[in-house]
Amino acid sequence: MSAAGGSAGGPPKPGPNSGPKPAGGGGRGGGSGGGQSRTDYYLLGATVLLYALLFVVDPGNASAALGSARSLAVTIAPILLLVTGFVALVNYAVTADAIARYLGGESGATGYLVAIVGGVLSHGPVYAWYTLLADLRARGMRDGLIAVFLYNRAIKLPLLPLFLYYFDLDYAAVLLGTTVVASVVQGVAVEWLLSWWPWR
Amino acid sequence: MAPGRDSRRDRFVAATRKAVRSLWNALPILASVVLLVGLLRTYVSPAMLRSVFGGRSALDVILGTGIGGVSTGNAITSYVIGGELLDRGVSLLAVTAFVVSWVTIGVVQFPAEASVLGRRFAIARNVTGAVLAVLVSVVTVLVLGVLA
Query: Do the chains contact at A84 and B112, CB–CB below 8 Å?
Result: no
- Angle among Cα A96, A102, A103 to the nearest 5 degrees reads 80
Contacts of B104 in chain A (CB under 8 A): 150-151, 153-154
- Rounded to the nearest angstrom, the minimum Cα separation between A26 and chain B is 4
List of long-range contacts for A179-185, beta carbons under 8 Å, 24+ apart: A179/A151, A179/A152, A179/A154, A179/A155, A179/B100, A179/B136, A180/A116, A180/A152, A180/A155, A182/A151, A182/B132, A182/B135, A182/B136, A183/A115, A183/A116, A183/A119, A183/A147, A183/A148, A183/A151, A183/A152, A184/A112, A184/A116, A184/A148, A185/B132
Total number of domains in chain B: 1
Residue B133 lies in a domain: yes
Contacts of A198 in chain B (CB under 8 A): none
- Rounded to the nearest angstrom, the minimum Cα separation between A143 and chain B is 8
CA–CA separation, B77 vs B50, rounded Å? Answer: 12
Cβ(B32)–Cβ(B112) under 8 Å? Answer: yes
A15 or A84, greater pLDDT: A84
Residue B23 lies in a domain: no
Residue B52 lies in a domain: yes
- Asked if A30 reaches chain B (Cβ–Cβ under 8 Å), the answer is yes
Nearest by CB to residue B15, choosing from A43, A88, A165, is A88
pLDDT at A10 over 70: no
Residue B123 lies in a domain: yes
Counting one residue from chain A and one from chain B, the pairs whose CB atoms sit within 8 A come to 244
- Asked if A196 reaches chain B (Cβ–Cβ under 8 Å), the answer is no
> Least CA distance to B117: which residue of chain A?
A27
Q: Where are the beta strands (DSSP E) in chain A?
A: none
- Asked if A172 reaches chain B (Cβ–Cβ under 8 Å), the answer is no
pLDDT at A110 over 60: yes
How much is the CA Rg of chain B, to the nearest whole Å? 21
Contacts of A148 in chain B (CB under 8 A): none
- Rounded to the nearest angstrom, the minimum Cα separation between B72 and chain A is 10
State the pLDDT confidence band at B3, using cuts at 50, 70 and 90. low
Query: Domain residues for B108?
Result: 44-144
pLDDT at A29 over 70: no
pTM confidence score: 0.75
Residue B26 lies in a domain: no
- Rounded to the nearest angstrom, the minimum Cα separation between B10 and chain A is 10
Interface of A with B in 105-124 (CB under 8 A): none
> Which range is least confidently modeled, A2-6, A38-42, B3-7, B118-122?
A2-6
pLDDT at A35 over 70: no
Output the pLDDT for position B145.
93
> Least CA distance to B137: which residue of chain A?
A175
pLDDT at B136 over 60: yes
pLDDT at A15 over 70: no
State the pLDDT confidence band at A14, using cuts at 50, 70 and 90. very low
Residue B5 lies in a domain: no
Residue B11 lies in a domain: no
- Asked if A195 reaches chain B (Cβ–Cβ under 8 Å), the answer is no
A100 or B52, greater pLDDT: B52
> Least CA distance to B122: which residue of chain A?
A24
ipTM above 0.85, yes or no: no
Residue B29 lies in a domain: no
